[in-house]
Amino acid sequence: MLYWVLSPAAIVWAVFYYGLTFSGPQSATIGMRMVDIEMRTWYGAPAYFVLGAVHGILFWVLISALTPLVLLVCFFNHRHRLLHDIVLGTVVINNEQRVQRITEFGPHY
């Protein structure tokens, strides 16, 4: 009987997930933490809650409407950023642990 509540609750949960994980101390979702990357603003500041939430929403909207374009845009800019990252002014970078491993073991690690 309350099945209609499930869809809006899932959307609200996902928006809060992106907002909270991107605004946390690691500026990354759980999957991004596993591969040692984080999201920053174009000028290097950590992400904040609203930016993280809007990042998730814009990603879903653009993927739904422009799937090939969103993915192909990275091949045509020097930073290899996707369309939603360009629109929001965010970059995805290696965190300090990954940088240390890369410099210590070489780029093929």
* Residue spans per domain, the chain: 3-105
Strand partners, 40: 46, 91
CA distance 50 to 84: 14
Instruction: Provide the residue type at 8 as one letter.
Output: P
The pTM for the full model equals 0.78
pLDDT for 10-39, tens place per residue?
Answer: 889 999 999 999 999 999 999 999 988 999
Is residue 109's pLDDT more than 70? no
CA 108 to chain CA centroid, Å, is 24
